Amino acid sequence: MTQLSPAQAGGIGITALGLYVPERVVTNAHFESYLDTTAEWIETRTGMRERRYAAEDEYSSHLGVKAVQDLLARDPDGLKDVDLILCATGTPDAMFPSTAALIGEQVGLRGVAAADISVACSGFVYGLAMAKGQIAAGIARRVLVIGTEVLTKKVDQQERNNAILFADGAGAAVVGPVPAGYGLGEFVMGADGTGGASLFMPGAAPQLPDGTPVGDYAGMNGREVFKFAVRIIPESGQQVLAKSGMTIDDISWIIPHQANVRIIEAAAERFGVSTEKFVVNLDRYGNTSAATVPLAIVDAVRDGRIQDGQNLLLVAFGGGLSWAACTLRWWAGAPSLRSEPNA
């Protein structure tokens, strides 16, 4: 009789978690000193009160390493059998070597396959999908998925609309075999390059294919991104629920990309649920792009909101314009996946 692998016999889900946010806390009052804005206006418009800034000599690989170290501090065996690293980042240390490889070398995974994912804020959920596929296909045993960003180094700090939003941080998760009935469910992912000019990060070309100049800093058309986000969050969320044979009533927690509280409020209205069903921590961390979803998961696990057996809906949107959503039944059987008494 054919012997089933653990991934085939059970589920594929998150088996370890870690996070890191830089030490420097930047409150809304910081921007009052040099931008035409007020702390009250920022909080009212975005829901943000403070965010974290990386030190001058801290980059995405440094934040990613510290997130993995946090994971290992809670679960020393958390990286066992990891044979692939996927790093979601829009602010890589370099185009190559990959930030994933730089992190792997520093956390004891030298020689492990490593690659970066560049879809901005959707990157971590894309990474979970890729990890599940690699494990299900028998190509990988366990996959380390990281979302890490130092957006403050690539945003024009003199441009009010962007400077107040973006921040730095990192989250890390190991994806591997979990017991039957738990783990990652269905995925919905997509991208629309016609919206690329609404949210971009400069690269090698001086302009996008449509002629949009990219300049030296990240660019965003807030109005267009807002319209896209309030449509795509409920749309992709409902699609993945239907694909999973579930309804919004089956979901304990919705974990969205943390871009703006007004986007989350609009999405909640379209879902027909209270915002209390959403995990929101942008008030403390701001928009950390690919790191927002893992940071929100870790926060909600450690403070006891996410419990064993609960169904989660993860949904994100970002540059591309891109989007990704998935369902996940939480397994709390490993040390870093349970709440902390003093969280």
The mean per-residue pLDDT over the stretch 301-312 comes to 98
Positive or negative: CA dihedral 75, 111, 13, 235:
positive
State residue 236's pLDDT score: 98
Model confidence pLDDT, tens digit, residues 143-175:
999 999 999 999 999 999 999 999 999 999 999
**Residue bearing tokens 């990192």:** 170
The torsion angles phi and psi of 221, rounded to 5 degrees, stand at -95, 95
Count CB-CB contacts under 10 A for residue 314. Answer: 26
My answer on whether 114 and 194 are in the same domain is: no
Q: How much is the pLDDT for 208?
A: 86
Question: What are the phi and psi torsion angles at 26 (to 5°)?
Answer: -115, 115
DSSP 196: G
Nearest CA to 75 out of 165, 218, 188, 173 is that of: 173
3-state secondary structure of 191: strand
Structure tokens at 265: 């409020």
Of 48-52, 184-188, 221-225, give the lowest mean pLDDT range: 221-225
Q: In the 8-state DSSP scheme, what is residue 2? A: P
Q: Tokens 């979803």 — which residue?
A: 293
Mean pLDDT of 53-59: 98
- The β-bridge partners of 107 are none
pLDDT surpasses 80 at 343: no
295 lies in a domain? yes
pLDDT at 13 exceeding the cut of 50: yes
Q: Residue 3: what pLDDT? A: 41
Whole-angstrom distance, CA of residue 86 vs CA of residue 123: 10
Q: Give the integer Cα–Cα distance in Å for 327 and 251.
A: 9
Considering 159, 178, 197, which residue would you say is the last residue of a domain?
178
pLDDT at 340: 83
Total domains in the chain come to 2
Do both 160 and 300 map to the same domain? no
Residue with tokens 């009533």: 249
Q: What is the per-residue pLDDT for 29?
A: 98
Do 173 and 192 belong together in one domain?
A: no
149 & 212 share domain: no
For residues 16 and 161, state if they share a domain: yes
Domain range enclosing 219: 183-332
- Kindly state whether residues 131 and 241 are assigned to the same domain: no
Query: Exposed/middle/buried for 310, CB within 10 Å: 0-12, 13-18, 19+?
Result: middle
Based on the fold, state whether residues 164 and 199 are members of the same structural domain. Answer: no
The last residue of a domain, from among 144, 178, 212: 178
pLDDT tens sequence across 69-84: 999 999 999 999 999 9
Task: Answer yes or no: are the C-beta atoms of 305 and 298 closer than 8 Å.
Answer: no
pLDDT at residue number 291: 98
Euclidean distance between CA atoms 17 and 277, whole angstroms: 22
- Catalytic annotation, residues: 121, 257, 287
pLDDT at 283: 98
Residue 217 lies in a domain: yes
Confidence of residue 1 (pLDDT cuts 50, 70, 90): very low
pLDDT surpasses 90 at 9: no
Share of the chain above pLDDT 70, in %: 97
Closest CA to 90 of 63, 118, 115: 118
Same domain as 132, residue 190: no
CATH code at position 54: 3.40.47.10
Final residue before a domain boundary, out of 155, 178, 201: 178
State whether residue 47 is helix, strand or coil: coil
229 & 154 share domain: no
CA dihedral angle for residue 4, residue 6, residue 8, residue 13, rounded to 10 degrees: 180
> What pLDDT was estimated at residue 10?
86
Residue 4 pLDDT exceeds 80: no
Tell me if 230 is assigned to some domain.
yes
Say if residue 252 is in the same domain as residue 265.
yes
Average pLDDT, the chain: 95
Asked if 100 and 144 sit in the same domain, the reply is: yes
Position 6 scores a pLDDT of 45
Look at residue 343 and tell me if it is in a domain: no
At 342 the pLDDT is 67
Looking at residue 7, what is its pLDDT?
44
Helix or strand (DSSP H, E) at 200:
strand 199-200
Choose among 154, 195, 203, 199: nearest CA to 319: 199
User: What is the distance between the alpha carbons of residues 306 and 339, in angstroms, rounded to a whole number?
Assistant: 8
| 106 plus 224 within the same structural domain | no
Does 1 map to a domain? no
Phi then psi dihedrals of residue 324, to 5 deg: -160, 140
Is position 205 within any domain? Answer: yes
Is residue 71 one of the residues assigned to a domain? yes
Is position 225 within any domain? Answer: yes
pLDDT tens digits for range 84-131 = 999 999 999 999 999 999 999 999 999 999 999 999 999 999 999 999
Quick one: tokens of 208? 């996008």
Distance CA 288, CA 91 (A): 11
The answer on pLDDT for 216 being more than 70 is: yes
Total-model pTM: 0.96
d(CA 147, CA 297): 12
The DSSP annotation for 240-280 comes to: HHHHHT--GGG-SEEEE--S-HHHHHHHHHHHTS-GGGB--
